């Protein structure tokens, strides 16, 4: 069996390593480099639910986590940066990407603009995070085995309408609220539901999801490193 005798940490909660000794042989492991398939974290919620804030916080908290930047044909809102929040593209560019197979799925939202996600999202081995609607979530879950999904709920529809209006007065409020209701009606399909009534609490719960899901997938490698046998499926006798 391997024994841990040293431990070191960096700013990345997963980028920690320890020295293990077994039969006089030392071995260094990096938990960030444990051999496992990358996780795709999907964040969904109606407009104004706080998706962008949650994603930005998780990216700051987990430096090894990488964002998948999706496409949109709408104009950027104030404060949005091309290549960070979205890739803002023309309708012509969207058509080219779709026809060349560089778009995995897309949706026309509010009878207005297109939103689309790129193909080949898990290349490179890093955990990724992406913002999708429920239709995109369904397609990615059907295609990728390691999807972990979080749905962000507002405290109420009234609070959601106020958030949308305060953030950016829209002339299609009715369509946005109808879309919000459509999204919320599919929330039961997600692994986790987070009510964003207190931002600090919602961010802490989102952090807990990422950390727990990473730890769960590290278990097989750690069992092997420590030479821990798998439990016997035969129930033990009380005798």
Q: How confident is the model at residue 203 (pLDDT cuts 50, 70, 90)?
A: very high
User: Distance (Å, rounded) from C-alpha 169 to C-alpha 172?
Assistant: 9
User: Distance (Å, rounded) from C-alpha 187 to C-alpha 154?
Assistant: 12
Inter-CA distances, 72 with 16, 35, 139, Å: 37, 34, 18
Q: Domains of the chain (ranges plus CATH)?
A: 3-33 (no CATH), 36-68+123-218 (3.40.50.300), 70-120 (3.30.63.10)
User: Distance (Å, rounded) from C-alpha 155 to C-alpha 84?
Assistant: 27
Please give the full DSSP string across 218-239, using - where no structure is assigned: HHHHHHHHTTPPPPPSSPPP--
Q: What is the pLDDT of residues 140-188, one digit of tens each?
A: 999 888 999 999 999 998 888 888 777 666 567 777 888 889 999 999 9
Q: How confident is the model at residue 212 (pLDDT cuts 50, 70, 90)?
A: very high
Report pTM. 0.76
Average pLDDT score over residue span 10-35? 46
| DSSP-derived secondary structure letter, 212 | H
> At residue 30, does pLDDT exceed 70?
no
On the CB side of 128, how many CA atoms lie within 13 Å of its CA? 22
Which pLDDT score, from 0 to 100, does residue 190 have? 98
User: Distance (Å, rounded) from C-alpha 146 to C-alpha 153?
Assistant: 23
Which pLDDT score, from 0 to 100, does residue 3 have? 35
């Amino acid at each position: 069996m391997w024994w841990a005798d040293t431990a070191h940490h960096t700013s990345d909660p997963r980028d920690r390593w320890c020295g293990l000794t077994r039969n006089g042989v030392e071995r260094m492991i990096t938990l960030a480099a444990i051999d496992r398939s990358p996780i795709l974290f999907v964040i969904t919620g109606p407009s104004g639910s706080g998706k962008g804030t949650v994603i930005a916080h998780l990216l700051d908290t987990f430096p090894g986590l990488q964002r998948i930047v999706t496409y949109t044909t709408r104009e950027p809102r104030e404060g949005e940066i091309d290549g960070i929040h979205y890739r803002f593209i023309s309708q012509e560019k969207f058509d080219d990407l779709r026809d060349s197979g560089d778009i995995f799925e897309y949706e026309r939202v509010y009878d207005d603009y297109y939103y689309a996600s790129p193909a080949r999202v898990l290349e490179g081995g890093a955990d990724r995070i992406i913002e999708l609607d429920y239709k995109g979530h369904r397609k990615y879950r059907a295609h990728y085995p390691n999807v972990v999904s979080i749905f962000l709920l507002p405290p109420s529809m009234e609070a959601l309408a106020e958030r949308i209006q305060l953030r950016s007065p829209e002339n299609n409020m009715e369509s946005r609220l109808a879309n919000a209701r459509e999204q919320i009606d599919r929330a039961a399909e997600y692994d986790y539901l987070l009510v964003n009534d207190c931002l600090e609490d919602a961010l802490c719960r989102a952090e807990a999801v990422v950390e727990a899901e990473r730890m769960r997938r590290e278990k097989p490698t750690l069992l092997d490193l420590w030479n821990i046998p798998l439990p016997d499926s035969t129930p033990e006798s009380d005798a």
